[in-house]
Amino acid sequence: MIDHNNQEEYRDPMNYDLEFGGETDKYEFFLELAKQHPGHVLELACGTGLVALFLAERGIPITGVDIVEPMLAYARVKAKGLPVKFIEADARTFETDQRFSMIFLTGNAFQAFLSDEDQHALLQTVYNLLEPGGIFAFEMRNPDGTDLSDEEEEHWGTFTDMDGVTVNVSGNQKYDAGNQIMHWTTIRDWGHRQTTSRIACRFTDVQILQQLLEKQGFAVESQYANWDQTPFEPSSPMVISVCKKG
C-alpha cells in the first residue's frame, strides 16, 4: 500500500532539518550500536541523512536509501567528503550486492509501511541484505502507550526556519481503527503563509510485531522505551527493537 500523501511532509528538506534535527540522544544510540557491530551500515528511509551523516562524520561507512529524491539531494549536499552514499530506492524492493553489519530505520519510519504486505517486503529486504548475525534496529510508537483518539486541531510546537522566522506548528489526528492507521494533518503557519501536509502511520501491536519479526527470521535481542536504553514496558509510548538475523 503506497500513500503518496506521506511524501508531503518531506517536500522542504532544509526546514525539515531545522524542525526535526538535533536529536543527539538518538544519533548516539545508533552510533554506539554501529561501533558494537563493525562493518558497513545501511539506513533505510534515511531522509536528509540526519543520522547517517552523524555516523559518517565519526568514521562509520554507511549507505542511505530513501524514496524521496529532494531529501536525498539535500543529504548529498551535506555529505561531501564523508564515507556515505545516498541511493533513491523503495525499501520494499531495494537490492544490492553489498551486505551490511547493521541496518536501521528511525523517525518511526517503520510505521510508514501501512499493510502486512509492506511490512513483510521491508523485513525481507532487511533480512536479505544483512550479513549472518547482523543487527536490525528501529523504533515505533507503541499503540498501548499512545492516545489514538481523534483530536481536533491543537498547537504542537514551534521551530525557527532557515530565514529566522518562528513557525507555529499545529495539527489534528484521526484514527482508522479497522486498519490501525493514524492520519495526521500538520499545519505550519509562518504568519504570512501556511502549509498543510498529511501523513499516515500504522500502529502495530508490540506482541504482533515480535511474532512478525520472528517469522521473518529475526531474534529480538532488546527492546527499549527510549534512547537511553530504559527497558520497554507495555505502557511505554515508544518501543525501540534491536534484532539479530538468525
Residues 124-171 pLDDT 10s: 999 999 999 999 999 999 999 999 999 999 999 999 999 999 999 999
Residues 238 and 175 in one domain: no
Q: Which domain holds residue 178?
A: 145-201
| DSSP assignments along 95-155, one per residue | --S--EEEEE--TTGGGG--SHHHHHHHHHHHHHHEEEEEEEEEEEE-GGGS--S-EEEEE
* Whole-model pTM over 0.85: yes
Residues 58 and 115 in one domain: yes
pLDDT at 4 over 50: no
Helix axes 116-129, 206-215, angle to 10 degrees: 50
Residues 79 and 118 in one domain: yes
For residue 128, how many other CB atoms are within 10 A of its CB? 12
CATH code, domain carrying 20: 3.40.50.150
Residues 195 and 218 in one domain: no
Total domains in the fold of the chain: 2
Residues 169 and 69 in one domain: no
CA 234, 236, 237, 242 dihedral sign is negative
Cell numbers placing 57: 562524520
Residue 186 in contact with residue 9, Cβ under 8 Å?
yes
- CA–CA–CA angle 141, 183, 13 (5° rounding): 80
Strand-pair category, 84-88 with 62-66: parallel
- pLDDT score of 22: 86
3-state secondary structure of 238: strand
Contacts of 17 (CB under 8 A, 6+ apart): 48, 50, 74
Residue 242 in contact with residue 103, Cβ under 8 Å?
no
- pLDDT score of 100: 98
Residues 103 and 160 in one domain: no
Residues 188 and 99 in one domain: no
The cell 493514524 sits on which residue?
A: 182
pLDDT at 6 over 70: no
Residues 174 and 123 in one domain: no
| DSSP assignments along 152-180, one per residue | EEEEEEEEE-TTS-EEEEEEEEEEETTTT
Residues 170 and 189 in one domain: yes
Residues 109 and 8 in one domain: yes
pLDDT at 123 over 70: yes
pLDDT at 102 over 80: yes
**Residue (of 34, 201, 29) closest to 119 by Cα position:** 201
Cell numbers placing 155: 498547537
- pLDDT score of 85: 96
Percentage helix, strand, coil for the chain under 3-state DSSP, each rounded to 5: 30, 35, 35
- pLDDT score of 7: 58
For 19-52, b/e burial (b = at least 16 CB within 10 A) is beeeeeebbebbbebbeebeebbbbbbbbbbbbb
Residues 174 and 217 in one domain: no
Residues 137 and 161 in one domain: no
